[in-house]
Structure 1
Amino acid sequence: MKKVLVISDKNEARSQMAEKWLNYYGKKHLKVWSAGLEKGRIQVMAQKAMAEAVMDIPEYKSKTISEISEKAFDFVLYLDKELENRIPTFECDPEIVGFDLPNPAKLEGEENVKQQAYHAVCNAIDDICFSFVQDRFQIVS
């Protein structure tokens, strides 16, 4: 079983979404965690976008990397180019894979516009996770 850590700045939305999608597509072949460089709070709009994709995450809690008991990962994914030079060093020398997705929490505007941004990011993360699992493990049918 391969171990994957998804890192974000505060573990509030995108990394939580990716954790759920990777667990879904990786089924029994991957063990996935998400964590932030610092702790935030789960974005309600992220939960709503995932629920509408039939991927509920209400039980997910924001956590930091130091709160993850597992320390040996095969892959570390980050979803924001701003984190590229802030990824901590891991003893296990995992493969680091970066993506650059907009942070919907930074969007200004009306609630419906913000929610559309969360939906767009949710869909993009779905695509990224599907491709990641299929390209590396060929376990998605």
Structure 2
Amino acid sequence: MEKKIKVLFVCVHNSARSQMAEAFLNELGSEFFFAESAGLEAGTLNPLAVAVMKEEGIDISNNKTKSAFDFFKQGKLYHYVITVCDESSKERCPLFPGITKRIHWSFDDPSSLTGSEEEKLEKTRQIRDHIKAAVEDFIRNVK
């Protein structure tokens, strides 16, 4: 059996964007990839992210938020570390030993959305769809 390509998705609190990216890569690319996600600091799982992923048939409601620094301290190694936060936050991400590639995908933060619940839900769906498209492109280009 071939070794899977290990990928870590990192955002600020591991509450939405990185959780969605991890779930999509593990769902769509499980034959070739193993994904984990973490935040610069562990936060609280975003209920909007849970809801829009459930619409895709993926349940992340029991996921725990994790700290990238805990993974770093554990000496975990990844082939790719993909930051999914804004430009200023990506610079705070730890450097992991053994990384062959570091990638940045910029996505809006669902926790900073404004408007009614339905408007925030619709904007989170758009973020989810952009993340899914990025993961699908990643799978096509890396495997």
**Alpha-carbon distance in 1 for matches of 2:134, 2:82:** 11
CA deviation after TM superposition for structure 1 residue 117, in Å? 1.0
What is the one-letter code of the residue matched to 2:29?
G
Match of 2:116 in 1: 110
Question: For structure 1, which segment, 36-45 or 87-96, has the greater mean C-alpha deviation from structure 2 after superposition?
Answer: 87-96
Aligned counterpart, 2:137? 131
Unaligned 5+ residue runs, structure 1? none
- Across the aligned residues of Structure 1 and Structure 2, the Cα RMSD in angstroms comes to 1.3
Asked if 1:84 corresponds to 2:90, the answer is yes
Q: Distance in 2 between matches of 1:96 and 1:25?
A: 21
Unaligned runs of 5+ in 2: none
Cα shift at 1:27: 1.5
Do the aligned partners of residues 20 and 70 (structure 1) sit closer, same or farther apart at CA in structure 2, a change above 3 Å counting? farther
1:48 alignment partner, one of 47, 51, 55: 51
Which of 105, 118, 135 aligns to 1:99? It is 105
Secondary structure at the aligned position of 1:122 is classed as helix
The count of residues paired between Structure 1 and Structure 2 equals 137
Q: What percentage of residue pairs aligned between the two structures are identical?
A: 28
Q: After TM superposition, where is structure 1 displaced by more than 4 Å over at least 4 residues in a row?
A: none
